[in-house]
Structure 1
Amino acid sequence: MARTEYYDDPAAPEPNSLVVAASAVVTDDEGRILLQRRRDNELWALPGGGMEMTESLPGAAVREVKEETGLDVEITGLVGTYTDPRHVIAYSDGEVRRQFNVCFTARIVGGRLAVSEESTELRFVPPGEIGELAMHHTQRLRLRHFLEHRERPHLG
């Protein structure tokens, strides 16, 4: 299913759903950040996705990282909340999503890195190389907040 992201775009379609989602900044022992190249739009992104009715938001982040990367993680902190109504995601099946995302930090506790059907590539990226990757600016914002080592999470 294809996906198009809009930001502050008057041509964006009207949202028809609100999705609570979780993402995670997963780092390795060298401080590199795990990113995936999404199959639906070919952009680099943090692992993450929608929360299911039977789970907590941190649990959703742990599940999504496992599904999308093969790695088991534990949540270690909070980067922030991202609820900007100007960010709209349209899917080819007709869903037009306004997303409420909570971005966590996480560390690897097991598993084996494996590309899922949602991505075409996984890579641990040194922070200095993130700017070279094609990425939606909302993902870049979360990464910037993480790399700033803020005392308090972003609330937005």
Structure 2
Amino acid sequence: MDHQNTHSVSVAGVIIDDQGCALLTQRRDNGHWEAPGGVLERDEDIITGLLREVREETGLDVEPVTLTGVYKNMTRGIVALVFRCKVIGGHLTETDETRSFQWVTADEVRALASEAFGVRVLDAMRSNHTPAIRYHDGTRLLGGVAEPNPTPR
């Protein structure tokens, strides 16, 4: 196996409240604002990893509602599966990984988050439940589609 051509898979949960705002976490390591998430462990399934990552970073128990996007970091070889989620328990708690939280509108997402990570939250906030497929370099979007191509006639 050529390890230079392998990928890792990550998951993120965009938690949406009753007012339509999304929860952003501020990472301790770099100060960036993002949706909670991280790399799947080799022996865990996608939903178990999603629930673990969100709980570890926020203290919240969530229920995934729908897959909202698939994103690839072309530079690092990370494929991220992003889900819209709703809170079903727990309490927001700062952790070793997160130092702050903020419930934000779409405009606030654009102001706080980098393009590559903000678009994940914005895609999850859309009312259309069609998953986006995008790729980026870790900071900027490089391409992809937010809506599927229309059916040819």
Normalised-by-shorter TM-score class: 0.7 to 0.9
Identity %: 33
Q: 1:54-105, CA deviations, whole angstroms, 9 ceiling, x for partnerless residues?
A: 21112211111100000000111011111242xx3xxxxxxxx321100011
Q: Which runs of 5+ in 1 are unaligned?
A: 1-14, 89-96
Helix, strand or coil: the match of 1:102?
A: strand
Residue in 2 that maps onto 1:80: 69
What TM-score results when the alignment is normalised by the length of structure 1? 0.76
Residue in 1 that maps onto 2:143: none
The counterpart of 2:86, out of the listed 80, 94, 107, is 107
**In 2: Cα distance, 1:138 partner to 1:154 partner:** 13
Where in structure 1 do 4 or more consecutive aligned residues deviate above 3 Å? Answer: none
RMSD, matched Cα? 1.8
What TM-score results when the alignment is normalised by the length of structure 2? 0.78
Relative contact order: is structure 1 or structure 2 higher (C-alpha 8 Å, sep ≥ 6)? Answer: 1
The counterpart of 1:146, out of the listed 107, 124, 134, is 124
Q: Given that residues 58 and 104 in structure 1 are in contact (C-alpha distance below 8 angstroms), is that contact kept between their aligned partners in structure 2? A: no
Q: Given that residues 66 and 72 in structure 1 are in contact (C-alpha distance below 8 angstroms), is that contact kept between their aligned partners in structure 2? A: yes
The counterpart of 1:18, out of the listed 1, 7, 10, is 7
Q: Which runs of 5+ in 2 are unaligned?
A: 135-153
Q: Given that residues 20 and 125 in structure 2 are in contact (C-alpha distance below 8 angstroms), is that contact kept between their aligned partners in structure 1? A: no
Residue in 1 that maps onto 2:107: 128
